[in-house]
Each structure stands twice: as structure tokens, then as C-alpha cells.
Chain A
Amino acid sequence: MNEPAVTGTEPLAPEGFARRIRLQEYALVGIVIALIIAGAITKPDAFLTSDNLFTILTQASAVGVLAIGMTFVIASGGIDLSVGSAVAAAGIAGGVLADGESGTLFILGALGFGVLVGVLNGAFITLGRMPPFIATLAMLAIARGLALRMSGKTPISVALLDAVRWFGNGKVLGIPAPVIVFLAITGLGWVLLNRTTYGRYVVAVGGNKEAARIAGIRVQRTIFSVYVLIGLCAGISAILLSGRLASASPVAGNLYELDAIAAVVIGGTSLAGGKATITGTFLGVLTFALIFNLLNLLNLPTEFQQIVRGVIVLVAVIAQRREN
């Protein structure tokens, strides 16, 4: 989707910071390729099948959608710790509203509740002048509690809601629906970040609030909006997850916020704000999904998996430091 370069006269030089981000993206592309090669060598029959690749992307989709939203939040200089709980609460809200009968109501309920959580987060942060870390930490607890309360601590079945099940199991031209949704959200996120005034404003606010304000950007409004955006992503994520598991669980999405943040950070988006890349986030999500899949295929214990994920975060962030 790059602009075609005008050859000879004025090549569109990649900008300084964009070039650095790209360097890191290349490094991540290297990691992803290395993981794929490792998988192809160790499990030649199971790993490189289209079924397995779709499985990887399907498993990544719920966290992946959150990570796209999280990219905007982190780019604006904020953080959202409540998304994991918001996924559970949105799923339960949808389940309660649908009452086992209407898939449409489930979808509207989940999206609506996700947005509501985002609106509350945004209000506490902008109108209440609370640090995002604190406001969303509080919301992490509240949303989880609401999910448990609304569900009576038991999962709500959505097995009979065909529309919801489609988002978990449906296929279009052989491609699983959750994969399509994840890729579509990634594409939309990319366009929003790189090709709209909104994306530019978000990064400007994260980079320097005062400079953004002087340039006429509504800083508080922009900050508010990114939490609503990630709330919507939490709603979408809840639909994908419930569809796949055939039920909405009050304990779903546990620690998803950390998975999403980790994917964004290893992708090269700066935790200090002002620098963001959707491509990097996508590659970050892919990296974690590949590791998860590979270690599963190799029957390695899950604790080993956690250690590997932690090490990758450390290595990626150290690489980021070095580039700066």
C-alpha cells in the first residue's frame, strides 16, 4: 500500500523514525520466518499444513484484535489493562441479552458493552484526570466482577446462536471467519493509523501533548477516543472467542491485556507514545501465536512456553533501546 515512488527525481525517502521501525519489523519478519522454518523442520507433516496455519491465526485472532486497538492506546501515550476483563464482560453481556435466542442481540450486546467499558475508561482518564494505568487497573477488577456477577459464575452457552457460532467456526472460501475478521481489522487499523488525520492525531498526542494542542488538536477528545476504540475491539474479540468456544465465559480473556501489550511492544510501538506501527503489532501477534503452536506441536510443557515468551519480549525491547 506504499505510495508509488517517483523514480529518478524525487524518491519518497522513508522517514527517519519510520525507517527505524521498519528495521525492527524486518527483525521480527526474521523471527517469524525462523519460527516457521523451525516448525517445518521439527514437525514437517503437521506444521506446514494450511489447516495448521489457519489454526494458528484463529487462535491468534481474539488477542490480535485487541492488540490492534492497543496499538492506538499505546501510541497515544496510554495503556489499557482492562481489555481482558472487558472481553469476558462483553461476552457475558451479549449472552445475557441474547438469552439463548438471538445471535444478533448477542453481537450488539457484546459490542455495546465493550464500547461502554471504553467510554468509562476514557471518561475517568480525560474528565477524571486519572493516569490510564490506574483507571484501567480499576476497570480490570470491576469488569471481571461484573462478568462473574451477570453470569452467576457459570458460562453462558451460545451453541444455538448460529450467527455467533459463525464467527468462531464459519468459513469463506475455505478461510476461517475469525481469521478474516482479524485480517480485516488489521487492515482497517493500518489505514486508520497511516492514512487518516485521526491516526496522525493519535500519534501526535502521544508524542507531545502540548505541541499537539498548539497545532489545534483536541487532545482530551483524542485520548478519550482511543479507549472507546479498544473497547469496541474487546467486543469484537468477545464475539470471536465465544463463537469458537460455543459459550461466553466469565473467566475468558484472562491476561489477554498483557498478551496484547507484549505484541504491541515487540512490534516496535513505543510505550512512551508517539511512535506506532500496525505492521509491527501484526508481526508481534504472529510471533507469539507461532511459538504457542510450535511448542504445543512439540508437546513441550506450558511453563516452558511462558519463559520463551518472556525472553522474546526482553530481547525485542532491548533491540528497541539499541536503535534509539
Chain B
Amino acid sequence: MNQVASEVLPLLRVVGLTKRYPGVTALDTVDFEVRPGEVHALLGQNGAGKSTLIKCISGFITPSDGEIYFDDDPVPPGDTMASLSHGIATIYQELDLVEELTVEANVWLGHESRNGPMLDRSTMKARTIELLERLNHPLIDPGARVETLAPAAQQIVSIARALSRNVRLLIMDEPSAVLDDKEIDVLFGVVRRLTEAGVGVIYISHRLEEVARIADRVTVFKDGKTVLKGAPANTDPDELVRAMVGRRLDRMFPERAEATDRVLLQVKDLTRRGAIHNVSFELRAGEILGIAGLVGSGRSELIRAIYGLDPVDSGEVIVAGSKVVPGRPDIAMSNGMGFAPEDRKSQGLLMDWTSARNVTIADLRSFVRHLLLNLRLERKKAKTHLESIGAQEGAVDKQVRLLSGGNQQKVVLARWLLRSCEILLLDEPTRGVDIGARAEIYKVIGDLAAEGLGIIMVSSELPELLGFCDRILVLRDGRLVRESPAGEITEEEILNLSIRAQATVSEDS
């Protein structure tokens, strides 16, 4: 296929594409092309620029500079309709199907066939069946509601929807994340049929073995730039991993004291079916423990289970001599734990409330005097704690929705400072936080560890984990595949453990 593909004109050509955000260049003069009938894989760590590129191509964001050509015609920037009419279709990781509607209704959503004012159900049904047959999935019932289908079948419906618009370039953002091995085989069959018909495919994945199986060429992103352009897909995996690592992150980590030997938390054989399997480890006072792994590797599920937020199937979490009760975060909290969730907006904060109230909510009882809340004392304490970690001046009386990501994270941290907890669980504490505020947040966390707290930190940023943590746990598919002192493991090793199949790992799992 490669020889054939290389002789024809590229379907899509991206020239000097740049996207600048305040303080960061997400895409830096990127050149990129897709030929008809080829699968071009994009690789790179979180934040490397893959998503920004495909969003520019599909018109969701407007690039700061550079051009996109389709069939050598310039595509107007930031125009999703123009991209659609060129036959560019995107399938996102989170499926964007309307679950309550039928397969047929989803396929034709937004461009239904009509007979005068009425829906032309028979034509749509016939064409849906035709599309599903073309995808080799005649067994999917066009009248079935999408929510009743398995994830793989839903993925097929998404593809059918793309085909119903006469797709010529299909962009797939981690389509395999929700699929099991058999379903992935099915998906790849569909992708091959599409490419045989001349459709070009951009395929984003974190799994190297998949890329080797399905892709014709590979482009690797790092820090918004392409570091490996259009290399053949059979490029040595080690070389691909080397290209992905070594990102720059300014020296912003504070000096750290040694962790103690006192065990604060024990996790024993913790299992939650479909999320985490037999995970065991210990956390010591004064230690910062980093958890690495891909999104979906069970990182968030692990610390949620430790905090008692989700049910578990077996295993236990022991803190301060007593067991954490699954489903009872209030008990975890009274045992000295604090938790800062991944999504501050939807899980961590009451966005309409002031910072003060968000800080005090977990320790409200300490402000009760003669049965009533002492509001003055409450605000004063909140203010003291917000100031001690360098939150924006005047933040105390502001609604948190008006604060920056960094200040919002400080509000969450101030809450647990106020409670003076012993164990702090942080899920992506620096996501959406600008560089300046990051250094401050690292300092706060470092100071807390120095005071003897035990800290568990989940992060997608490998340099952050390596530069800041004492010890690293690497998770893949819900299993603990490596536990190592931060100084004895490299970014490359973590990445290999996270994204590559069994080959390198047998001793722990």
C-alpha cells in the first residue's frame, strides 16, 4: 500500500501550522500530510500537540498561523462546516452519540433525508443498512437504541455516521481506549476496508503495538513540534519512545527532605473489577508517591477507591490502624485523608460559592460556637490559609468560578490544610494550572510533605513525577506494573511500561 500511496497527491496537507495560547505554543510550525488510502498515526505524550492538530483540521479551533489544504484547496480556518463538507469526519474518544436515539437516528442526525416536511424513514433505514453492511456489521439493528449497544458497536455507528456524510478523511482520537482486543480487531477490519476505498485516516493512539499493526506511517509530537515526521510504521518502538520523551520542564521543583519510615497508609490487593486489579503498596510519612499511567489505566480509580469514593470488589485500605469503608469518604476524611479530584469544576468545588466557603466546607464543625456557625472566624481562618499558600489577593470573598485554574487548585489545597489532614490524594494537581502557579503548588505540596504528610499524586506529566516524587508507581490496565524510587527509573522506562504490551513486563504482574 505504501508504494501505491506515495505516488498519488496528498489528500490533506498542513503547512506551518501554529497555535499559540497565552504563555504556551501548543503547535509550532507543523507540517503534516495524509495520503489517500493510508493510515497515518500520531504519537506523543499528553499535551504534545496531537489534539490541537486534529482540532485545527476539523475546524474546532482556529490556528494562529499556517495553512490547511484538502485536495490542494485551502480549507478556511476554524470552520467546522467547511471541514465537514470536504469530507473530513472526526470520531472523538468520548463518543458523541445520542444514547437514547436509535442507530438510524444517530447516523442521520443533522442531515436527515426528507420527503417534503416529513422524515424519509425508509430511505434512511435502507441506507443505514447499506452502510452497516459496508462496514461488515449487518447484525447491528438500525432501530436499536444506541445505549443498548456494546462500545465497539457504538464505535461502528460513529463510523457509519462519518460514512453517511461521504467521508474522505477520517480522524480517530484514541478509538481503542474503550475497546477490548476482539473489538479492536473488528475496528481494524473496518479501517482497512475504508483505506481500500481510498479514505485517508489519522489515527491517534497511545498503544505502540496497535500503531505497528494498523498504521502505514507515524508522526511523533513533542512540545508542539513534530520530532519524527511520517516515519514508516515499522520503525523500532524504542526509537519512537525515545522521540516522545525528554520534554523540557523548567526547574521548578523545590528541594525535598527524605521521607520517614513511618507507614501512614497500606493498600492491600485492592481490586475493583474493570478498573484496578490486586494493587498493593504503602505510603510513608513525608513521602510524595507518584502514580503514572495512561488515562484509563486505573490511576484515578485507584485513588478514588483509597478515599472510599467508589465501591471495591476485594482488598482493603488501612489508614491509622482502621480500614477505609468503601462508599464512605466521610470516614476516610475523619481518618485524616484529603482528596483533590481531577476535575476541580465538576467534582472538587462549588463554583458559585466563595473561596472562603469552599475552604471551610470540609471542616465546618470547627466553626460552631453555641450551636451556630461563627462566620467571622470562618472567613478569617479561610483567609489565613489561602494567604499562606499564596492565593490571589482578595480571593477569599470571590466566587471560585471567577478564579484562575491555579487559584482554584489553591482553594482545594487550602481546604485540606485547614483540616490538617495526614494523607493527601491529588489527582492531576497541576492540570490547567499555568507555569507560574505550578511552582507555587509544588512548593505547597513539598512543604506539606516536609511537615510529615504522606502525599499520593497522580499525573500525566512524566517530568513532574520524576522531578518531584520520591517513588513512582506505574499502572497499566489497572495493574501495578512497576514500583520504583523516582531516581532509579527514566521517563523512557515509564512510557514503555505504560504504552507497550507485555514484552517488557513480567516480573510484577
Contact = CB atoms under 8 A, between A and B. Distances in A.
A214 B397 contact: no
A201 B309 CA distance: 18
Interface in B314-337: 329-330, 333-334
Interface string A178-211: 0000000000000100011100110010011011
A213 B329 contact: yes
Contact of B397 (A15, A191, A204, A208): A15
A274 B352 contact: yes
Contacts of B119: none
A201 B365 CA distance: 11
A18 B126 CA distance: 57
B350 interface: yes
B348 A211 contact: yes
Nearest to B332: A216
Nearest to A16: B399
A214 B329 CA distance: 6
A275 B352 contact: yes
A197 B353 contact: no
A200 B357 contact: yes
Given A12-B379, A17-B353, A215-B415, A195 B348 contact: no
Interface range for A: 20 to 34
Interface stretch (B22-30, B146-154, B367-375): B367-375
B395 to A, nearest CB: 12
Interface in A115-173: none
Contact of A216 (B356, B362, B368, B379): B362
B361 A208 contact: no
Given A3-B376, A196-B371, A213-B329, A16 B350 contact: no
Given A17-B352, A197-B368, A214-B341, A204 B361 contact: yes
B310 to A, nearest CB: 11
Contacts of A213: 309, 329
B354 interface: yes
Contacts of A214: 307, 309, 329, 339, 341, 347-348
Contact of B399 (A12, A17, A200, A212): A17
B197 interface: no
Interface in B273-310: 307, 309
A217 interface: yes
B352 A197 contact: no
A200 B352 contact: no
B457 interface: no
A13 interface: yes
B402 A216 contact: no
A16 B354 contact: yes
A216 B398 contact: no
Contacts of B330: 216-218
30 contacts: A12-B375, A12-B379, A13-B397, A15-B353, A16-B354, A16-B397, A17-B399, A195-B373, A196-B372, A196-B373, A197-B373, A200-B373, A207-B351, A207-B352, A208-B351, A210-B341, A211-B349, A212-B350, A213-B329, A214-B307, A214-B309, A214-B329, A214-B339, A214-B341, A214-B348, A215-B362, A216-B329, A217-B330, A218-B330, A274-B352
Q: Which 8 A-B pairs have the closest CB atoms?
A: A216-B333, A16-B399, A216-B330, A215-B362, A195-B372, A15-B354, A207-B350, A197-B364
Interface of B: 307, 309, 329-330, 333-334, 339, 341, 346-354, 356-357, 361-362, 364-365, 368, 371-373, 375-376, 379, 397-399, 402, 415
